[in-house]
C-alpha cells in the first residue's frame, strides 16, 4: 500500500456515487429495484473508506498525499484539479460514507411506497458524490464547485415532495439564502486567485507564509478570510443566515439526518478547517462571535418548539455554532472532533425521530406523543444515548468533544481576558441539556397523549433500527479515547488530528498563536507533503505543542475546571427538564406566562423570518415597486408631458425609425441574405462555369499579388 494506492482508492470513493447516481437516475423508471444498486454502491464505497482510513492512519499518519492533474492551461492561467488525502479528509470521508450508507439503508424502509422512490436514491447518490468532492479537494475552486453541487442536491431533496407548497418553498428558501453566503465565498476565492494565481490550498499557504498577502495589507487578508467564511455561514446555517435550516426539515427525515445534520451543514465547518491557516486574528474573532450567536440564539428557540424535527434542527444550528466558535477561539482540534462526534449522535437523533415519525404515521408534534418508550424500546434506547451525548454527559463522545470546546473558550478567556465566549459556551451547554431532555421526556416518557396513534405505533423494521444502533454505539467514548475524562489521551486527538501550521503574518495573529522561538520549517508544498509537525515530534515527542506553548499550557489548565463546570451545568439542565416535564413539579405554562415576552421571542424564533420579510424581502419588493412607480409616473409623465413635442418629433422620428434604424437592422439581415443568394447563384451546378470561375479568380489573385 503506497501513497498512490491511497489516492486511487480516494478517487474510486469519490466517483462511485456518481456512477450510482447516473445509473439509478436513467434506469429509475425501467428497473424497479435499481435502488438496491445505489445502496450497494454506497456499501462498497463505505468498505473502501474503511480501508482508506485504516491504511492512512496506521501507516501514513504523518503524510499528506496529493494527486493532481492540470485542467486548464491557457497562456498564464494554469488551473490544477486534484485530491488531497490527509488525516482530516480520511476521517471525514469515513463519517460521510458511513452515515450515507446507513441513511440509504434506513430510507429503504422509510421511503417505501413513495412514487419517486428510485429518484430519491439517485439524489442521495449525487449528494454523496458532491460531499465526497468537498472532502477530498485540494483546491478551493473544486471546493466551490462541489459546494454548489451539494447545494443543488440539498435543494432537490428538501423539495422532494414538491407537491407540498411548504416543501418547495423551503427548497427555494434554502437555495436563495445559501446564495447570499456563496456570494461572499466566491468573492473571497476571486481575491485569492487574483493574488496568488492558483486555487491550490498548499500553494496559497506557502505564498502567504512567504509574506505575500492580498493588496499588501493584513486588513485585506482578514477580509478575504471573512468572505470565505461567509460561505460557511450560509452552508452551516450560522447566524444570520440560519433561517433556512429549520424550514429544510420539510424534506424526508433521512435526508435531514444525512444532509441537514451530519454532513452537508458540517461542510461549512470543514471549509474553515481547510482554510484555517490563512485566517488572521481579527477574522477568527469575527468567526467566534458569529459562532457564539449561532450557538446561543437557536438554543433558546429550541426550548419552545413542538415539532420534533424542528427542535433537532435548532439544536443542529446551535451545535454547529459551537464548532464555529471553537475554531474562532483556536480550539481547532476540538472543533473537528465535535464535528465527527456530532455527526454520529445527531444522525442517530434524526434517524430516531424518523423512526418515531414512521411509527406515529407522520405525526411530528411532540405534544401528541408520549409514552413511546414501551412501544419503541430500541429507538428509545438509541435516542437516549444520543441525547446524553449531545447534552455532554460523561462516558459519551459528546462529553469529550464539548468539554474540549468549553476548555478552549475557557483558555481563550484566560489568555485574552475575554470571557464572553466561555460564558455563552457554558450557558448553551445548560440550555442544550434542558431542551434535549424535554424532547426525550415529552416523546418517550409519561402517558400517551394521542391514544389512537399510540396504539398503532410499532417498532421499526430491522433496516431502520440497525443504523440507529450503529450510530448510538459510535456515540460512546471508547471509540475515541480509553480515558472517558480526557480526550487528549485518545488516539483521535493525540495521533490523528493535528492543528495546522498557521501561515498568516505574526502580528496579524492572536497573541497566543504566535510561533515560539523554535520556528517550524516552512510548509513546502510537494507531492508528498510532510507537515511541519513531524520535525517537532522528533524534537520532543513527550510534549505535544499546539500552535504555541502558551496556548497548550492554557488548554491544559482549563481542562479540569471546564469539565467540572460543564458537568454541573448539564446536570442542572437535565434536572430542570425532569422537574418540568417528568415530575411536573414546575409548570412550564406558568413560567411561560411569567416571562411572556421572552417566551414569545423564543416561540417565534426571535422573529427572524418576520424581520427578513419586513426588511430584505420588503426592500426587494419595494425597489421593484419603486421602479414600477417610476415607470408609471415619471417616465409616463415625461412622455405625456412632452406629448406635444413628441407629436412634432414623432413624425420625423417615425420616418427615421422606419427608414434608417429598421433599414440598418433589416438591411443587415437582408444583405446577409443577398450575399448568401449571390454566393449561391455562383453555384450553378454546371461544371464549365466552375472552371471558368477558377481560372478567373486565379487571374485576379495573380493581379492582386503581382506587386509583391
Partner 1 sequence: MNTNNLNYLVNSLYLIKPELVISAIIVLLVLVDLIMLKNKKLLPYISIAGLLIAGYFIIEHFETNSFAFSTSSSAGMLIVDPFGNFFKLLIVFASILVVLFSVTSVEIKNSLDRHGEYYALIFGMILGMMFMASASDLIVIYISLELVSLSSYVLAGFTKQSLRNSEASLKYVIYGGISSGIMLFGISIIYGITGSTNLYEINSLIQAPQVQSLTFLLAGILIFVGIGYKISAAPFHFWTPDVYEGAPIPITAYLSIASKAAGFALLIRFIKVTFIQSIDPEGFWHLLSIIDWKSFIIIISILTMTLGNFAALWQSNMKRLLAYSSIAHAGYLLLGLAVMSNEGITAILIYFVVYAFMNLGAFFVVMLIANKIGSEELDDYKGLSSSTPFLAVSLSIFLISLTGLPPTAGFIGKLYIFIALIDAKMIVVAVIALLNTVVSLYYYVKVLKHMFLDKSEKEIPAISTSYASAVLLIAILAPVLVFGIYFTPLVDLAKSSITLLGF
Q: What sign results for the dihedral spanned by CA atoms 124, 231, 403, 511? A: positive
* Interacting span for partner 1 (CB under 8 A) from 173-181, 468-476, 493-501, 692-700: 692-700
Closest by CA position to 225, among listed 266, 177, 184 = 184
CB burial readout 668-695, b (16+ within 10 A) else e = eeeeeeeeeeeeeeeeeeeeeeeeeeee
Residues 492 and 92: beta-carbon distance below 8 Å? no
* Interacting span for partner 1 (CB under 8 A) from 47-55, 72-80, 157-165, 257-265: 72-80
The span from the CA of 291 to the CA of 461, in Å, is: 39
Is 643 among the residues that bind partner 1 (CB under 8 A)?
no
Is 661 among the residues that bind partner 1 (CB under 8 A)?
no
Is 77 among the residues that bind partner 1 (CB under 8 A)?
no
For residue 222, the surrounding DSSP H or E stretch is helix 218-235
Give the shortest CB-49-to-partner 1 separation in angstroms.
26
**CA 583 to centroid of chain Cα atoms:** 39
Whichever of 76 and 541 has its CB closer to partner 1, that residue is 76
Give the shortest CB-15-to-partner 1 separation in angstroms.
14
Among 43, 527, 564, 698, binds partner 1 (CB under 8 A): 698
- Return the ∠ at Cα 662 (arms to 660 and 667), rounded to 5°: 90
Half-sphere exposure of residue 239: CA atoms within 13 angstroms, side-chain side: 25
Is 538 among the residues that bind partner 1 (CB under 8 A)?
no
Is 702 among the residues that bind partner 1 (CB under 8 A)?
yes
Whichever of 72 and 644 has its CB closer to partner 1, that residue is 72
The span from the CA of 689 to the CA of 591, in Å, is: 102
Give the shortest CB-17-to-partner 1 separation in angstroms.
19
Is 703 among the residues that bind partner 1 (CB under 8 A)?
no
Q: Is 73 helix (H, G, I), strand (E, B) or coil?
A: strand
* Interacting span for partner 1 (CB under 8 A) from 1-9, 350-358, 645-653, 691-699: 691-699
Whichever of 583 and 708 has its CB closer to partner 1, that residue is 708
Whichever of 596 and 697 has its CB closer to partner 1, that residue is 697
Q: How far apart are the first and last CA of the chain?
A: 69
Residues 505 and 498: beta-carbon distance below 8 Å? no
Whichever of 619 and 691 has its CB closer to partner 1, that residue is 691
Among 72, 538, 644, 645, binds partner 1 (CB under 8 A): 72
Whichever of 80 and 285 has its CB closer to partner 1, that residue is 80
Is 666 among the residues that bind partner 1 (CB under 8 A)?
no
Whichever of 590 and 686 has its CB closer to partner 1, that residue is 686
Give the footprint of partner 1 on residues 331-350 (CB under 8 A).
none
Q: How many helices and strands, by DSSP H and E, does the chain display?
A: 31, 3
Give the shortest CB-267-to-partner 1 separation in angstroms.
24
The span from the CA of 280 to the CA of 99, in Å, is: 34
Is 664 among the residues that bind partner 1 (CB under 8 A)?
no
Give the footprint of partner 1 on residues 390-449 (CB under 8 A).
none
* Interacting span for partner 1 (CB under 8 A) from 4-12, 21-29, 64-72, 294-302: 64-72
Whichever of 667 and 673 has its CB closer to partner 1, that residue is 673
Among 2, 70, 640, 642, binds partner 1 (CB under 8 A): 70
Give the shortest CB-684-to-partner 1 separation in angstroms.
9
CB-count exposure of residue 384 (10 Å: 0-12, 13-18, 19+): middle
Q: How many CB atoms lie within 10 A of CB 75?
A: 5
Among 15, 55, 71, 612, binds partner 1 (CB under 8 A): 71
Give the shortest CB-632-to-partner 1 separation in angstroms.
35
Closest by CA position to 463, among listed 124, 125, 117, 104 = 104
Give the shortest CB-135-to-partner 1 separation in angstroms.
21
Is 665 among the residues that bind partner 1 (CB under 8 A)?
no
Whichever of 200 and 566 has its CB closer to partner 1, that residue is 200
- Strand-pairing partners, residue 85, are 65
Q: Binding-site residue total for partner 1 (CB under 8 A)? A: 31
Give the footprint of partner 1 on residues 668-687 (CB under 8 A).
672-673, 675-677, 679-680, 682-683, 685, 687
The span from the CA of 224 to the CA of 190, in Å, is: 9
Whichever of 70 and 526 has its CB closer to partner 1, that residue is 70
Give the shortest CB-694-to-partner 1 separation in angstroms.
6
Is 706 among the residues that bind partner 1 (CB under 8 A)?
yes
Is 645 among the residues that bind partner 1 (CB under 8 A)?
no
Residues 24 and 38: beta-carbon distance below 8 Å? yes
Whichever of 200 and 432 has its CB closer to partner 1, that residue is 200
Residues 413 and 421: beta-carbon distance below 8 Å? yes
Residues 241 and 177: beta-carbon distance below 8 Å? yes
* Interacting span for partner 1 (CB under 8 A) from 16-24, 65-73, 166-174, 316-324: 65-73
Among 33, 58, 75, 541, binds partner 1 (CB under 8 A): 75
Is 691 among the residues that bind partner 1 (CB under 8 A)?
yes
Q: Is 476 helix (H, G, I), strand (E, B) or coil?
A: strand
Give the shortest CB-185-to-partner 1 separation in angstroms.
22
The span from the CA of 312 to the CA of 256, in Å, is: 10
* Interacting span for partner 1 (CB under 8 A) from 67-75, 357-365, 406-414, 580-588: 67-75
- Torsion over CA of 256, 262, 265 and 267, rounded to 10 degrees? -150
CB-count exposure of residue 394 (10 Å: 0-12, 13-18, 19+): middle
Whichever of 143 and 411 has its CB closer to partner 1, that residue is 143
Three-state SS annotation for 418-451: CCHHHHHHHHHHHHHHHHHHHHHHHHHCCCCCCH
Among 30, 33, 58, 69, binds partner 1 (CB under 8 A): 69
Q: Is 497 helix (H, G, I), strand (E, B) or coil?
A: coil
Residues in touch with partner 1 (CB under 8 A): 69-75, 672-673, 675-677, 679-680, 682-683, 685, 687, 689-691, 693-694, 697-698, 701-702, 704-706, 708
Amino acid at each position: 500500500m503506497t501513497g498512490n494506492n491511497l489516492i486511487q482508492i480516494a478517487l474510486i470513493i469519490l466517483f462511485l456515487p456518481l456512477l450510482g447516481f447516473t445509473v439509478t437516475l436513467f434506469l429509475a423508471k425501467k428497473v424497479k429495484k435499481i435502488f438496491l444498486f445505489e445502496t450497494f454502491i454506497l456499501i462498497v464505497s463505505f468498505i473502501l473508506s474503511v480501508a482508506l482510513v485504516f491504511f492512512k492512519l496506521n501507516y501514513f499518519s504523518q503524510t499528506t498525499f496529493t494527486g493532481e492533474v492540470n485542467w486548464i492551461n491557457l497562456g498564464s492561467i494554469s488551473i490544477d484539479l486534484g485530491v488531497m488525502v490527509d488525516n482530516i479528509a480520511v476521517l471525514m470521508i469515513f463519517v460521510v460514507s458511513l452515515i450515507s450508507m446507513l441513511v440509504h439503508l434506513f430510507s429503504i424502509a422509510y421511503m417505501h411506497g413513495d412514487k419517486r422512490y428510485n429518484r430519491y436514491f439517485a439524489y442521495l447518490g449525487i449528494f454523496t458524490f458532491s460531499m465526497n468532492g468537498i472532502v477530498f479537494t485540494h483546491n478551493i475552486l473544486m471546493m466551490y464547485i462541489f459546494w454548489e453541487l451539494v447545494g443543488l442536491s440539498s435543494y432537490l431533496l428538501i423539495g422532494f415532495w414538491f407537491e407540498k407548497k411548504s416543501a418547495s418553498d423551503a427548497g427555494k428558501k434554502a437555495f436563495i439564502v445559501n446564495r447570499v453566503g456563496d456570494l461572499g465565498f466566491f468573492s473571497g476565492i476571486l481575491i485569492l486567485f487574483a493574488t496568488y494565481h492558483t486555487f491550490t490550498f498548499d500553494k496559497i499557504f506557502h505564498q502567504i507564509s512567504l509574506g505575500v498577502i492580498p493588496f499588501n495589507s493584513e486588513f485585506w487578508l482578514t477580509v478575504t478570510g471573512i468572505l470565505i467564511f461567509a460561505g460557511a455561514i450560509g452552508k452551516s446555517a450560522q447566524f444570520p443566515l440560519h433561517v433556512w435550516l429549520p424550514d429544510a426539515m420539510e424534506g424526508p427525515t433521512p435526508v435531514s439526518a444525512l444532509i441537514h445534520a451530519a454532513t452537508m451543514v458540517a461542510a461549512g465547518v470543514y471549509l474553515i478547517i481547510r482554510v484555517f491557516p490563512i485566517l488572521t486574528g481579527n477574522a477568527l474573532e469575527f468567526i467566534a462571535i458569529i459562532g457564539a450567536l449561532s450557538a446561543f440564539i437557536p438554543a433558546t428557540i429550541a426550548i419552545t418548539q413542538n415539532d420534533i424535527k424542528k427542535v433537532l434542527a435548532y439544536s443542529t444550528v446551535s451545535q454547529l455554532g459551537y464548532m464555529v466558535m471553537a475554531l474562532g477561539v483556536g480550539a481547532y482540534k476540538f472543533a473537528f472532533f465535535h464535528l465527527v462526534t456530532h455527526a454520529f449522535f445527531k444522525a442517530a437523533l434524526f434517524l430516531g425521530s424518523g423512526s418515531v415519525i414512521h411509527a406515529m404515521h407522520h405525526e411530528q408534534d411532540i405534544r401528541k406523543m408520549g409514552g413511546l418508550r414501551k412501544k419503541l424500546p430500541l429507538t428509545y434506547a438509541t435516542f437516549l444515548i444520543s441525547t446524553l451525548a449531545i447534552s455532554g454527559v460523561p462516558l459519551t463522545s459528546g462529553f469529550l468533544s464539548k468539554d474540549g470546546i468549553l476548555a478552549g473558550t475557557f483558555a481563550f478567556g484566560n489568555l485574552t481576558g475575554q470571557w464572553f465566549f466561555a460564558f455563552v459556551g457554558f450557558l448553551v451547554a445548560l440550555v442544550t441539556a434542558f431542551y434535549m431532555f424535554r424532547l426525550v421526556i415529552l416523546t418517550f416518557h409519561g402517558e400517551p397523549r394521542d391514544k389512537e396513534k399510540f396504539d398503532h405505533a410499532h417498532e421499526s423494521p430491522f433496516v431502520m433500527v440497525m443504523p440507529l444502533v450503529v450510530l448510538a454505539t459510535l456515540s460512546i467514548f471508547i471509540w475515541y479515547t480509553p480515558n472517558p475524562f480526557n480526550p487528549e489521551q485518545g488516539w483521535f486527538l493525540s495521533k490523528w488530528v493535528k492543528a495546522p501550521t498557521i501561515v498568516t503574518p505574526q502580528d496579524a495573529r492572536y497573541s497566543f498563536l504566535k510561533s515560539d522561538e523554535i520556528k517550524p520549517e516552512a510548509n513546502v508544498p510537494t507531492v508528498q507533503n510532510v507537515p511541519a509537525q513531524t520535525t517537532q515530534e522528533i524534537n520532543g515527542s513527550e510534549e505535544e505543542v499546539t500552535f504555541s506553548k502558551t496556548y497548550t499550557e492554557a488548554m491544559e489548565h482549563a481542562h479540569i475546571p471546564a469539565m467540572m463546570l460543564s458537568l454541573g451545568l448539564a446536570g442542572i439542565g437535565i434536572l430542570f427538564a425532569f422537574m418540568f416535564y417528568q415530575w411536573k413539579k414546575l409548570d412550564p405554562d406558568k413560567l411561560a406566562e411569567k416571562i411572556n415576552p421572552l417566551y414569545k421571542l423564543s416561540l417565534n424564533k426571535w422573529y427572524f423570518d418576520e424581520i427578513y420579510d419586513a426588511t430584505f424581502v420588503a426592500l426587494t419588493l419595494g425597489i421593484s415597486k419603486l421602479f414600477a412607480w417610476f415607470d408609471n409616473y415619471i417616465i409616463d409623465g415625461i412622455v405625456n408631458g412632452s406629448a406635444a413635442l413628441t407629436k412634432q418629433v414623432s413624425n420625423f422620428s417615425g420616418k427615421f425609425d422606419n427608414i434608417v434604424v429598421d433599414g440598418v437592422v433589416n438591411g443587415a439581415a437582408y444583405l446577409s441574405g443577398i450575399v448568401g443568394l449571390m454566393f449561391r447563384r455562383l453555384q450553378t451546378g454546371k461544371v464549365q462555369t466552375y472552371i471558368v470561375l477558377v481560372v478567373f479568380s486565379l487571374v485576379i489573385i495573380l493581379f492582386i499579388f503581382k506587386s509583391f
